[in-house]
Amino acid sequence: MDRDERRGVVRATSYADVPRQLWVEEPAVSRRMADPVRTAAVRAVIIASLTMIQGMVAFLCTLTGSWLAFPMVLSSVGSTVVATWAVLDVWVTRQVWNQRNGVVSIPSSTARQLRRERRTARRTARADARQAERIRRSRSGRLSRA
């Protein structure tokens, strides 16, 4: 028994019978990044790639003995600092976004479960207090009539 038979797939007799799909939707594995975080990440990738290109040009200029080697090495060092700053900006932007908009709590979250239990306990306590008040009122009403 081959793989297709185990899956329950019926084999086509010819290639004309096989449905061809150009695009197959797959569910997303992780949530999408927030817009400011994505913007910072794209900016960091562009800056880092330009820094690597600049470093390669500086290296090749050094090998050839070009007069451009020294200015390129200096600017590569500066670009490395800027690229590091851009990567840190992604991290900081992500932290700020999480603090401002809250972390999405998942159903198995411990804090959410505790809040749910406290809320249920408060509702039960209020219902018991209302019931006790009704009983007390009905007893006091009977005593005053007698």
- In angstroms, the first-to-last Cα distance of the chain is 88
Decide: 72 and 58 in contact? Cβ < 8 Å.
yes
90 vs 3, which has greater pLDDT?
90
How much is the average pLDDT of 38-52?
96
Residue 96: its H or E element: helix 69-101
pLDDT at position 101: 79
User: What does the alpha-carbon distance between residue 97 and residue 33 come to, in Å, rounded to a whole number?
Assistant: 10
Separation between Cα atoms, residue 133 and residue 127, nearest integer Å = 10
Query: Bigger pLDDT: 68 or 30?
Result: 68
pTM above 0.85, yes or no: no
Which range has highest mean pLDDT (20-29, 32-41, 70-79, 113-122)? 70-79
- Please report the sign of the dihedral spanned by the C-alpha atoms of residue 13, residue 17, residue 22, residue 26: negative
Task: Give the other-Cβ count within 10 Å of 75's Cβ.
Answer: 15
Residue 17 CB partners (closer than 8 Å, separation 6+): none
Domain residue ranges of the chain, discontinuous segments joined by +: 36-99
- Per-residue pLDDT, averaged over 52-66, amounts to 95
Taking the C-alpha atoms of residue 113 and residue 99, their distance in angstroms, rounded to an integer, is 21
Q: Which of 1-10, 35-44, 81-90 has the lowest mean pLDDT?
A: 1-10
The amino acid at residue 54 is Q
Which of 42, 53, 33 has its CA nearest to residue 87?
42
- Whole-number pLDDT of residue 134: 87
- Tokens standing for residue 134: 């009704």
